Amino acid sequence: MDLSALNWNQISNTIIGIILLPFSLRTLKSLIDNKQTLFDDDLTKADRTILKQAALFVLLPIVVLVHELGHLLACYVYQVKVVSFHWALFWGEVSWRGTVTPEAPAVIAAAGNLFQLACALSALLVALAVRSPAVVALATYTYLWAGFSCLVFYPLVSIASWDYDFAILYGSPDKRIVWGAALIHIILAWGFIYSFVSDRTKLWFAERTRPVWAKEFKRTKETAQREGTAVSYLALAWQYYLVGLDGPAEKTLQIVEQLDEENLDVWLLRGYIMQSQSKFDTADYCFEKIVQGNSDSTLRARAYMAKGHCLFEKMSEAKLKDMQPVLTSYKHAAQSAKDLADPHYYMAIVYKEEKNLESAEIELKICQNAQRQGLNWLDPVLANMARQELLSLRNASKEKQ
């Protein structure tokens, strides 16, 4: 058997398609099983994860099939013989032969990508037209995957290996085709990248996929514009931060500083923004501005807790096991505001991380009896989490016995 005659590229891509097929089937099953919760008005983080997977493992393969059908249609237009047609979920190929005009190979190569772009733009139009948060999210994710693969990923792979569609397109002997294709490609790629990174499009996506947040955001923005106070603009900055809009959040914080230079709450949110970007040292500097400043006890406790969170994340990423600096920050928080229960919960989590289960249980008991001891929660959700952690510890102790 002559192994050199085998199309190894086709074989390898088919194998990859077979390997990824279970992911597509599992994602499709997940869509069906969760359709009731997915398509309500509350689009949770878990829902968005499923929809991202659906766009990648279910809809993108369909887009790839449409891509190949574009090549196939162009072959029929030029009346060339189609030697083979292959489709393996994330990859496809149309082979042809025949005598054609000089521009035909470039047009046939471009046709598949034009069909894929049509799919991407259709998904975008659906996202703009519908009201369902889940459909908006699914259509937007499909637009992003289809656009990225067609305008960025595939061109880079094609040109780097000087093979496939874009090598044929940019290798055309007709320079008008080359320069025309390059100009159109640059414009479309720029537009796609802008739609991906722009704060305006991110805000649009947040408003369309998080209706509860959108209502609160609208009220907060109207209040800030009407009152024009540092407090109202600070609330608006927090709204931006909640949906990952760090740029608008920082710009709004600058407005707060112009209205009230002494407002230390600015540094708490700024620190959280830096931490979300993994700029831990800068985040710690922001929290330290509150600790060293003339802040009230609650704000100082929040800053110490934020320092603890920041240190915990930083040390976890660095795979460091010494949690004493984190524990010290939470202890400072508890000392700064002795009426708060929140620091005790965080101390319990650190003790549990250190396998100091006895100390963890003591802190969790404080949390459980917070109301009796006159302690308040900044984050009421932690009260239930503390009860669950305490129950988990006790069950673990019974199993050991």
168 and 34, same structural domain? yes
Mean pLDDT of all residues in 53-71: 95
The string of DSSP codes covering 8-46 is HHHHHHHHHHHHHHHHHHHHHHHHHHTHHHHTSS---HH
| Tens-digit pLDDT profile for residues 5-15 | 556 567 777 78
pLDDT over 50 at 1, yes or no: no
Compute CA 105 distance to the chain's CA centroid, rounded to the nearest angstrom.
Answer: 39
DSSP state of 3: G
217 and 196, same structural domain? no
Task: Give the range of the structural domain holding residue 87, as residue numbers without chain letter.
Answer: 3-205
The residue from 163, 185, 205 where one domain ends is 205
Place of tokens 């359709």: 35
Output the CA–CA distances (angstroms, integers) from residue 19 to 23, 24, 87, 88, 152, in the order listed: 8, 10, 14, 10, 24
Provide the pLDDT confidence category of residue 323 given band limits of 50, 70 and 90. Answer: confident
Mean pLDDT of the chain: 91
The total number of structural domains that make up the chain:
2
238 and 154, same structural domain? no
Q: Is residue 184 part of a domain?
A: yes
Q: Is residue 360 part of a domain?
A: no
Q: Which of 337, 289, 335, 287 is nearest to 313 (CA)?
A: 287
Specify the higher pLDDT residue, 19 or 205.
205
Q: Supply 264's token pair.
A: 């230390």
Place of tokens 């707060």: 256
Could you tell me if 374 and 339 are in contact, meaning their C-beta atoms sit under 8 angstroms apart?
yes
Q: Is residue 275 part of a domain?
A: no
Q: Is residue 314 part of a domain?
A: no
Q: Supply 290's token pair.
A: 């509150």
118 and 28, same structural domain? yes
Mean pLDDT of all residues in 61-72: 95
219 and 199, same structural domain? no
Q: CA-based angle 66:173:92, to the nearest 5?
A: 20
| Tens-digit pLDDT profile for residues 298-320 | 999 999 999 999 999 988 887 77
251 and 148, same structural domain? no
The residue from 248, 263, 278 where one domain ends is 263
CA-based torsion, 129, 133, 137, 139: positive or negative: negative
123 and 15, same structural domain? yes
Q: Is residue 98 part of a domain?
A: yes
186 and 63, same structural domain? yes
Q: Is residue 96 part of a domain?
A: yes
What pLDDT does 92 receive? 87
Provide the pLDDT confidence category of residue 398 given band limits of 50, 70 and 90. Answer: low
173 and 231, same structural domain? no
167 and 219, same structural domain? no
pLDDT over 80 at 146, yes or no: yes
| Tens-digit pLDDT profile for residues 264-285 | 999 999 999 999 999 999 999 9
110 and 194, same structural domain? yes
The residue from 156, 173, 205 where one domain ends is 205
Q: Is residue 147 part of a domain?
A: yes
Specify the higher pLDDT residue, 63 or 371.
63
Q: Is residue 53 part of a domain?
A: yes
254 and 138, same structural domain? no
